[in-house]
Amino acid sequence: MTTLDFAAMTGLELMRWVQSERPADIPSIGRLLGMRFDEVEHGRVVVSLDTRPDFANPLGTVHGGIAATLLDSAMGCAVHTTLAAGVGYTTLELKVNYIRAARTEGQTLTAEGTVIHAGRRTATAEGKVLDDQGKLIAHATTTCLVLGTAS
């Protein structure tokens, strides 16, 4: 088995690798929640998951943190697709607007993240989460800090 040098991969290459390989042996929030990388392109990522009872808030609907995590992942990974090898990012700000509750019994939630601006020091993106009926669950914006410089 060849060991990959993730630092040598561009953000787009890394995200496409995650999409195609679906590495189950690497701990991640995506693995914990059962996220799937459905689409990966430069400046845009679509991720989805199936809800389950473990995602419930005290009211019995999907906890808002699940939608926030989907949005943070989709938008952050969209930013990552624009970065050169050896360059990382971290979320500086995340603003989520919740529109409606999601059910916990196996509903598919899909988040799309799209880059608005990718600069040398910061990047911004927007995202939305839809249920399996195409209804808007939440939408968001993010600002990411770009870490490091390309070699």
CA separation for the pair 135, 115 (Å, rounded): 22
Helix (H, G, I), strand (E, B) or coil at 50: strand
Sheet holding 88-98, edge to edge: 36-41, 44-50, 108-118, 122-130, 136-147, 88-98
pLDDT at 104: 95
User: Running along the chain, 151 residues long, what does each successive block of 10 average in pLDDT?
Assistant: 77 93 85 95 98 96 97 98 96 98 95 97 98 97 89 49
What 8-state DSSP symbol labels residue 56? B
